[in-house]
Structure 1
Amino acid sequence: MDDQAHAARTMWNCLHAWWQMMPKDKRTLAAADAAIRQARTDLDFLAKLPAQASQALLKTYFRAWVNCWGGRADEPNFKARFRTVMSVDIPQGRDLNIVRVHRRWGMVNLPKIGRVRFRWTKDLPVGRRAGTDNRITGARLVKDALGWHIAFRIQTLEAEPQPHQGPDVGIDAGVNIPLALSNKDHQDHGRPPRLPDGTADRDKWLTEKEKARLLKLERQAAHRKSFHKKGEKTSRRLQHTCDQIKQLRAKATRRALDWQHHTTTYLARTYGVIVVEQLNIIRTWSSPLGAPPRSRARTSKPRPASTAPSHKRRGDARSRC
């Protein structure tokens, strides 16, 4: 799976370079498809990516340009190796052959990988439950700190939701209280936002034992980096220490996202209308009403020129060189 994800990222970068190199009148889907086919034929590591995934990547790239031309997004750019989420798209759902083994696990066919077992967490329209209006149309493989995950695309008919009968409430995000509601039903995660010395606690989602372990690992990494020379390959010990730090950071991120998911689900089920304050950040930095506008170009006043005679010797200017 890692090889396919790296091939997909490389294919995106090659396609973006090809798109910028070609004249505007030759930037067509047919020409791009021919270039992708030729690249998969000439380069073995690009051939590891399935053909259907390559076609889906081309459609995604062209859709990014359409959104850019419509003013809804920025221009697509190159994807970096370490800052890009590893993912592979499976646009065709007819060959997945999803089978539920028992209530916790299922099996699925992945292109160029074979039969893979996955954990069954949601009800999927397979077997008798599948139909014309309720079926799986594709999937997507995504890798994070816990490993590889699979997300299925499902086409289904949903009934039009009825108006929510819950009350209205105003909401505001803060520092000491994460979500403050107008009816005093504040949502707090129970973790102090600041340390005893008043500084912000960036590791508030970790326990005290995990914080101590993180501090120890960061000191180990700093100590081992002091022996690392520029251009040298990273040692196994330093890489192992950085991996442990990354795992702790990922654990804190998952806890924060889990709290956000549970809190937003509770608010959506409880209240019918949630009103957010329309705070104009730009106006808060403008000049007060009735005062002359302040220029942000120069923040300090110019100093008056000194009329006192200079007592510097001739050698002073040369001594500083």
Structure 2
Amino acid sequence: MKVDVGRRYRLYPSQGQAERLISWGHTCRWLYNTALEQRQFAWQQRKITLGVTAQCAFLTEARKDFDWVADLPAQSGQQVLRQLDQAYRNWWDPRHPAGPPTRKRKSARLSVPFPGQAIAVRRVNRRWGVVNLPKIGDVKFRWSRPLGGVVRNAVVSFDGVAWHVGFGVHAGVKTPEVHARPGMVVGVDRGVKVAVAMSDGRMWNRTFVSPGQERELARLKSKAGRQETARRKRGATTSNRARKIRAEIARTEAKARNRRRDFVMWAANRLCGQHATIKLERLGVKAMTATARGTIAEPGISVAAKAGLNRAVLDKGWGLFEAALANRARTTGTRIVKVPAAFTSQRCSRCGNTDRNNRESQAMFRCGSCGYQANADVNAAINVRDAAEAPSPLTGRAVRDRSRKASCRPPTQRRQRTALETGISRR
């Protein structure tokens, strides 16, 4: 049985349980980074592709030598290695947009995975449930919705504000062949002023961080920067005051992420429930939000303006919204269509005149040919709705990934002595 839906609940561990989960979260991050370095070393030095089976054997050896590694449940460590193996398979798949696996940096966000057979879930009453975790015991969580199926795995996570437990559930969800409202087509434009604008004139937006919170966050980051500079000059360890400032920054950013996630899920749920076809611009959000800083030899142009645009794009959650639409469309039968993004914001949806001067600002569109006036995002959404579907050829990265995929899979895998067996340092 495969996981087809996810369920996320607020978790309420005791102080002792939370401290142990924090330790496990850092161990999982160390294990992922060390296993990644091990695979990179094996390939660069000996042209060997390590798999999850060989790395699990190395993990068993490491658990014998280090008590803090042995404290992590063995099933959780194996799940971390499987996650890394899946990241490599996604990278090698030319149809998958994922890039090469990267290290997980140290932050306030922690996660500990568990397989389904290692945990037990039961409902206590109408409001509360209990999940039994290895080496920890029962931890209560808020039963905010039914599970609706068989639990296949679980992830305990901390986002800087609170603990959560997410269950991967097999609920037997099947995509409907026909949408409940066939024939309903809508174009959607993602903007920086208005998060989501539809071709029928509706506009949805939400502020995730208030002006006061932005000022407070800027103050805290400035103070954290001064503390870090002073710490480096003295060569001292991080003080308790600095840790408190970092924790406050993490809490503020986590609240903004939660509001953003709530908004995009809300918008995706309503759009997919009301329309059989949703048209979006084909946008490379990662490339669009790349820095313009450049190098010392060739410095960038308008770096500050580009940085502000990048922050605005990332704040609206364009990529998260697209993923939420794809996830919700599985249960409603909605068809997600991507169209070319070129000139959708400059073309008049009435007469077809295309001119960069047509868009006077982020909010106003006025056609220089026919005089048509409308909200700039709504006009772009109409153009998206009327555009033809964009082809999806293999990109240059995908072609390279295919050759990399072929070269990274030798016919045999030999066990070699690598980083997990030599010179392990904690975190």
3-state SS of 2:135 partner: coil
CA offset digits 1:205-261 (Å, max 9, x no partner): 334554565466456556766765523333333432343233223223322222222
CA offset digits 1:178-229 (Å, max 9, x no partner): 322221122233xxxxxxxxxxxxxx53345545654664565567667655
For 1:296, the equivalent position in structure 2 comes to none
Residue 9 of structure 2 is aligned to residue 9 of structure 1: no
For 1:65, the equivalent position in structure 2 comes to 88
Residue 99 of structure 2 is aligned to residue 74 of structure 1: yes
**Aligned 1:192-211 pairs, distance under 5 A:** 204-207=207-210, 209-211=212-214
3-state SS of 2:204 partner: coil
**Aligned 1:186-197 pairs, distance under 5 A:** 186-189=203-206
Inter-partner Cα distance in structure 1 for 2:49 and 2:189:
51
Inter-partner Cα distance in structure 1 for 2:57 and 2:71:
17
Bigger radius of gyration among the two:
1
Contact 2:132 2:139 in 1 (8 A): yes
Inter-partner Cα distance in structure 2 for 1:17 and 1:79:
12
**Structure having the larger proportion of residues in helix:** 2
For 2:198, the equivalent position in structure 1 comes to 181
Q: Match for 2:136 among 86, 91, 113?
A: 113
* Percent identity of equivalent pairs: 29
Unaligned runs of 5+ in 2: 1-20, 282-338, 346-427
3-state SS of 2:120 partner: coil
Moved more, 143-152 or 70-79: 70-79
What is the TM-score with the length of structure 2 in the denominator? 0.54
CA offset digits 1:39-96 (Å, max 9, x no partner): 111111111221111222222222222222333333323322238x4211111x2442
Contact 1:99 1:106 in 2 (8 A): yes
Contact 1:3 1:48 in 2 (8 A): no
The verdict on how the C-alpha distance between 1:241 and 1:31 changes in structure 2, with shifts beyond 3 A counting, is: closer
For 2:59, the equivalent position in structure 1 comes to 36
CA offset digits 1:145-198 (Å, max 9, x no partner): 222211111112224423231521222122333322221122233xxxxxxxxx
Structure 1 residue 272: deviation in Å?
A: 2.0
**Aligned 1:20-59 pairs, distance under 5 A:** 20-22=40-42, 23-25=46-48, 27-59=50-82
The verdict on how the C-alpha distance between 1:245 and 1:29 changes in structure 2, with shifts beyond 3 A counting, is: closer
Paired AA for residue 267 in structure 2: T
Structure with the bigger RCO (C-alpha within 8 Å, sep 6+) is: 2
3-state SS of 1:47 partner: helix
Paired AA for residue 33 in structure 2: N
**Aligned 1:1-321 pairs, distance under 5 A:** 1-22=21-42, 23-25=46-48, 27-71=50-94, 72=96, 73-82=98-107, 85-91=109-115, 93-125=116-148, 134-161=149-176, 162-165=178-181, 167-189=184-206, 204-207=207-210, 209-211=212-214, 213-214=216-217, 217=220, 228=231, 230=233, 231-277=235-281, 278-280=339-341
Inter-partner Cα distance in structure 2 for 1:221 and 1:31:
42
3-state SS of 1:99 partner: strand
Unaligned runs of 5+ in 1: 126-133, 190-203, 285-321
